[in-house]
Structure 1
Amino acid sequence: MKHFTKKTICILLSVLFLFSTCCVTAWADEEETPSASTTQSESATKDNEKAKKDAEKSLSDQKKELNEKLKESEKKLAEFKDNAKTTEAYIDALDEKIGIVDKELKVLNAEVKAARAKVEELNKQIEPLEKQLKVLQKAYDEAQKEFDKLNDDFTITYNAYCLRLRAMYISGTDSVLAALLTSKDISQFLARYEMIKAVAKSDTELLKDVNAKMEKIITKQGGLNERKAVLSSAQAKLNKKRDECKKEQDKVEKDQELIAQKKVILSEDRAESDRLFAVFTQNAAMYTEFRNEDEEVIKKVNAEIDALLSGLKSPDEITTAVTKDHSGEISDMEDQTQSLYSGSDAVLNLTYPVPGHYAVSQHFGHYRNGRAHTGIDYPAPTGSRVVASQKGIVIKVRRLNYSYGYYVMIYHGTDAKGRKIVTLYAHNSAILVSVGQSVIKGQQIAKSGSTGNSTGPHCHFEVIIDGAKRNPATFVSR
């Protein structure tokens, strides 16, 4: 019996050693897997990652370049003395700085837009990750409870088995043998033998129960460890996304603060530029437009003009149809086709819009601040004659207190390439024609003035070919 006891103890110790050192590879229960939508989202994000990084780098490079240009511009401005600030050179340098700051604002706004889009995208990724984490946490907690219960059951069984081993060790083999040998008769012997055999069988079953529960604990522990690893991975992934999101949000806030600062600088510099420019043009009597008009105002006016131009018909198309712009300004043009050129380059032989005033205060092109000047400015005293540069039909008359001020547009027909030719005359003090009226070359259509965005009396003259503004100097002659 002592031999049996030692063998049993050895088996138990071996199982305990196995429990303390084994590595489990199986789950006890079915594991939750990331949703298909999450996987697809991650794949799409990965596909777009390179393009977004390239865009971010481009914006970053632009910021660095503009920052260097701004430093150079500010250094240039600092070299001017106070009495030189009303010179064209200083104003040009200031406008150059304005153009740089304006570009910086555009880059910053683009960065903010990109960062906000990234925050929105990250939030979309974070939401399913949070849901997934809750599911994993719940599964882990349930698995932990099952493990704890299994462990408690094992402890009870193990303690019972330990007590039985102790009793067996204390009683030894002699007590079993004595019980059999002291039997009074064969019946008692057989009864005691069956009892001893039953106890031995019970001990064997108890050992099997200990081993079975131990194996379950080992398996469950492995599953629990795997759940914990998945949970930790999901938490780390979520934390990473949250950190990225916060980084982008901080970037938005930082850029917005910088945008606010740049806007103040831009507003102050534009006001200073306009003030100095007004003095300069007045001293030289070379009036033109202020260079820093609100961009939204410019877009609004241009959109109105573009809408009109897009509806123009060629002379051949004008028969009995009534052609109107979106405001209903153009009345019946039937029987007026004789006032228009049709497929002739003679339409581009234009006369100067203000007879006797040929000096140019502002040429066609771009200002130092980067903005376009889409015509030529001819300074002329208020009330000077403004004439049609070619025969045609008046298609638009507007009286604004901003932008072009009081302006007239005339449609002249088409050139040899079939392109539609239109001229525009702005900043007038009075308009002498109406929409739909036919005019001849050199006929007075307005009086020069300084309405709208203007530093003083002048005529802003534009030539528009198929909707595109071209340099009038190419076409005018005395």
Structure 2
Amino acid sequence: MIRVSEIMTKFMALLLCVAMFMGLFSVLNRKPVKAFTRSFMAYSPTQDEIDEAKRQRDEAREKAEHASEVASELREKQGELSGELAELQGLSDEQMAQYEQISEDYAAALIAKQEALDEYIQSQENLIAKREEYAERIGIMFAYENKSTLEILLDSESLAGFFTNLELISLIGEADLQMIDQLTIAMDDAELKSNYALKEAEDMQAIAEEKQAQLEELRNRIGVTEEALEETSTKLSRWEEEESAFQEEADRLDDEIRRLQAEKEEEERRAASLTATAAAQSTANSSSSSSSSSSSSSSSSSSSSSSSSSSSSSVSMHMTWPYPGDYTVYSPYGMRYHPIYHYDKMHWGVDLGGEYGNPIVAAADGVVIKVDEPVEGQNTGSVNYGNHCVIDHGNGITTTYAHCRDVYVSVGDYVVAGQTIAECGSTGTSTSPHLHFEVRVNGEKVDPVPYIT
């Protein structure tokens, strides 16, 4: 009985060893595939990235709608000002025509006033001249008046001359008196005309000055309206440009979202295919494991040793600081309060530097496996990483360089440590120019600081 018991115990121990070996072989067999799958999926778009792109798109649309509303209000104001300006210009033309007519009338009144004054002066001069002539004749009349009729008769050469002298004295007196009366009437009339012309000229001058003041006021109003219209037109152009820019940004983000979703779906499909292939391979390997247990055990041991050696080698890899000239870590790896999302979020890399256009260099030798430049050559724009590239350094280690303005390398390029590969920017989800630097080991993000210090 004791011998049978010992045999059974040894047999059960053997079965347990086989079971443990099979489990270990299965785990070791699947681990590389899972690591590859994680590494493969590490750079596929995440739902957070897609959601962030949607948020930025919606924000751009809201800004475009606001700009459209402001532009609509400005167009309405522009129409009102244009109508007001046309009305003022019409009034100005009318007032100008009136002013020109009044100016002509005023000029005519000045001429009439001058003519009336000239006539009045001439009447005065005529009256004075006639009065002087009349005075001479009065003297003659006075000379005869002091003589008797006999004396006049004696002075006359003949009887006919006597009667002629008497009649002449009588006629001169009557004619002169009549002429003096006519001249006085003419002078009074000229004075009235002069006074009327003077009053007319003064009235026309007052009307012209009033019309000129009205015209000047209209011109000032036109000037103010033209300035307001020009200012409104300038604002309208600016808001229309902003509306167009925000709409273009929203459309671009729509394309970006579709691209990210399509890329994510494709990566998920490929990852699922890889997982299925790995599962099938694992099943096949498990089926054949019983016939090659010792060989598999040796292989597993060797693989484990190799993996351990590789891991040790990866952790000890020394890299070049990727942002020359500034060796400060402005935002470290780990949890932090996100400056854009405004909640605590894991920061999967470190933020270095901070000047537009400064060079970014490769941290180590390797091959460029990804370049994405949604806004090539721009300081800002896009979402998530923005313009970025990824370098594979072997042994499962990759580095990511994000938020660039320009990327100088292409997929497949071999680069060496310290080689300039990009320019610093602030593209993607970023608040200011900097380099977001990541290190991944077998697809898993790790703290980059131990690798670059």
TM-score > 0.5 by shorter chain: no
Higher helix share: 2
> Which entry has the higher C-alpha Rg, 1 or 2?
2
Q: TM-score range by the shorter chain?
A: 0.3 to 0.5
TM-score w.r.t. structure 1 length?
A: 0.38
Q: TM-score, normalised by structure 2?
A: 0.40
